[in-house]
Structure 1
């Protein structure tokens, strides 16, 4: 097995892992929009009108990221979007912690105010940092196995268009 093939395999695991994260978190939020609203509002950083927009769009954005990663379409671009969103999440959790808010992040359902001592800010930041590492891998090396974009790039090369595979 070649080094490139091993790296492709690692990238595939990163792509599918990050896809699973976005699909799970997006689906949970989409199935309970009222709780998603409560979770977004608990961070106390957005005006009420913006909370509704973010709570309404976020689940579908996460699902779109998950589907694109699952299929392997635009992997590098989707990894950049994922990294950006994860950095926003880390910043949100960090500011909530710094301000002494007692909230559950709502990342995978739930969210909102919790009793003092029930926050898990360190675990949430570490988890999101792990997801950020998956996105970083895909930014640096987006080539993965079983990706639709590989087939598309391959068909461009074989059609004589001069396009190269990534």
Structure 2
């Protein structure tokens, strides 16, 4: 049962990162506008973050989709989500009116059109999925499990043949 929950968490988080990264990558100019709207980075770093963020999100999504280095990917995802939540919270605290740009778009919006509580709650939910995977990275349909079985690690999910005598 726990491996099923983990698998759903892993695949759900993979979908989040793949969609988010693809939407940002499809419109790099808008991604830069979204990064600039937070008004926390020096200009040179804004460009680096706008280029790197979608690529990091896509790599995280691919690792999680494949179930490869799941604990590592979950740790990076959790760290990134904490940074994103902090960015949204500081924007809210400073009275900025921005769309977070989490799934493309982003930038300045009219006063009263922000959705900071919903964005923080949503990202906190994603962070809980990442935390689950950090604590319990074993999931079904994962390269981690396949590689572990290849090394003879019986702690990974899969059929339990321990009660079957060889040769029978």
The question of a shared fold, defined as TM-score above 0.5 by the shorter chain, is answered with yes
* SS in structure 1 of the partner of residue 85 of structure 2: helix
CA distance in 1 between partners of 2:149 and 2:119 (Å): 40
2:137 aligned partner: 142
Gaps of 5+ in 2: 157-168
CA distance in 1 between partners of 2:31 and 2:5 (Å): 33
Residue number among 32, 36, 48 corresponding to 2:43 in the alignment: 48
2:162 aligned partner: none
- Alignment map for 1:17-28 (pairs within 5 Å): 17-28=12-23
CA distance in 1 between partners of 2:6 and 2:155 (Å): 16
CA distance in 2 between partners of 1:85 and 1:13 (Å): 20
1:165, distance to aligned residue in structure 2 (A): 4.0
CA distance in 2 between partners of 1:107 and 1:151 (Å): 33
* SS in structure 1 of the partner of residue 141 of structure 2: coil
CA distance in 1 between partners of 2:94 and 2:43 (Å): 19
CA distance in 1 between partners of 2:135 and 2:30 (Å): 36
Determine which structure has the larger helix proportion and give its number: 1
Structure whose alpha-carbon radius of gyration is higher: 2
1:106 aligned partner: 101
Residue number among 117, 120, 128 corresponding to 2:115 in the alignment: 120
1:52, distance to aligned residue in structure 2 (A): 0.1
Question: Is 1:153 the counterpart of 2:157 in the alignment?
Answer: no
Question: Is 1:39 the counterpart of 2:34 in the alignment?
Answer: yes
Paired residue total:
156
Gaps of 5+ in 1: 1-5, 158-162
Which string of whole-angstrom CA distances, capped at 9 and with x for unpartnered residues, describes residues 5-37 of structure 1?
Answer: x11000000000000000000000000000000
CA RMSD of aligned residues (A): 0.9
* TM-score normalised by L of structure 1: 0.92
